[in-house]
Structure 1
Amino acid sequence: MADHQEASVTLPSDPASVPTARRYVADVLMRWGLDDAAEIADSIRLIVSELATNAVLHTLGQSPTFTVDVRLEREERLHIGVTDSHPRRPRRLPAAVQQDNGRGMVIIRVLAAEAGGRLSVTPTEDGGKTVWITVPWTVAPVASC
């Protein structure tokens, strides 16, 4: 496998794009050797769903598309980023609002931390942002026969 692999997809900022983003990332990771039934695969699917949902719902129509980037470095670290063109950084909503929503970033942080990773946000050149999760790549080597 190469030292660095990457894949990306740009999708319309529409709720129908959320499952497309989730399937895209799952397919890429399976091609790179991640067992679809692995616990980390479930966590990554949920993280991608939450990040894509945030890119669709919280950009207030100011980001017509969002991009999902998947990067694997030296078979050690997996980076998944969702980029939109809205400048507002994600934030936790006040407790009163959190009863029905607002827990997505908390879920993402917890899942990333449980996998030994972290969440970060970086600004883009066009004034938007990318929300990244970085986790260790934990694919077991395939046994030879």
Structure 2
Amino acid sequence: MADHHESSLTLPSAPASVLLARRHTLSVLAEWGLPGDSDTADSIRLIVSELATNAVQHTLGQSPTFTIELRLDRDEVLRVGVTDSHPRRPRRLPAAVQQDNGRGMAIIRYLAAEAGGRLSVVPTAAGGKTVWITMPWKVTVC
């Protein structure tokens, strides 16, 4: 494997961009050796879908675009990040509110933990945030 791989794509904060984010992610990960029909690819597809959907729905028009970043480091760690320019951090909603929506972050946390990874939210210099999922690549490709 090369020292590291990186890919990023900036998309408009529009519902159609969620599909483009998923397709881009699967294409890049396939180039890096992850079969598109694997359970791990399905988990990453769902994570990206939820993160992109959040970037579109919850930025209240304050983020005209969002960026998906993929990094595979030489330390064999996969990092998936979605950055938007809205300053509000994701928050957990009470169970009663989660009946019809608001479950995305819980799903993301579960899928990341199941793969041996974690979720973090990092503020950007421009006042927005990046939601990062970090997971071991060795676990990812097994």
Calculate the TM-score normalised by the size of structure 1.
0.94
Task: Determine the structure 2 residue equivalent to 1:74.
Answer: 74
Corresponding position of 1:122: 122
Counterpart of 2:105 in 1: which secondary structure?
Answer: helix
Deviations 1:21-60 (A, max 9, x none): 0000000000000011111100000000000000000000
Aligned pair count reads 140
Aligned to 1:104: 104
Q: State the partner residue of 1:43.
A: 43
CA distance in 1, matches of 2:14, 2:93: 22
In the aligned structure 1, how far is the partner of 2:22 from the partner of 2:38? 15
Look up the SS of the partner of 2:99 in the other structure: coil
Cα shift at 1:94: 2.1
Which residue in 2 is equivalent to 1:56?
56
> Which amino acid is the alignment partner of residue 104 of structure 2?
G
Runs of 4+ in structure 1 displaced over 6 angstroms? Answer: none
Give yes or no for the alignment of 1:8 onto 2:8. yes
Worse-superposed segment, 95-104 or 48-57? 95-104
1:33 equivalent in structure 2: 33
Give, in whole Å, the separation in 2 of the partners of 1:9 and 1:83: 10
Gaps of 5+ in 2: none
If you compute each CA radius of gyration, which structure gives the higher value, 1 or 2? 1
Paired residue secondary structure (2:98): coil
- Greater percentage in helix: 2
The CA RMSD over aligned residues, in Å, is 1.0
- Residue 117 of structure 1, CA deviation: 0.3
Cα offset, 1:3, TM superposition: 1.1
The change in CA–CA distance for 1:75 and 1:37 in structure 2 (over 3 A counts) is farther
User: 2:133 is aligned with what amino acid?
Assistant: I
Query: Unaligned regions of 5+ residues in structure 1, if any?
Result: 141-145
Q: CA deviation at 1:75?
A: 5.8
Range that drifts further, 19-28 or 73-82: 73-82
Return the TM-score normalized by structure 2.
0.96
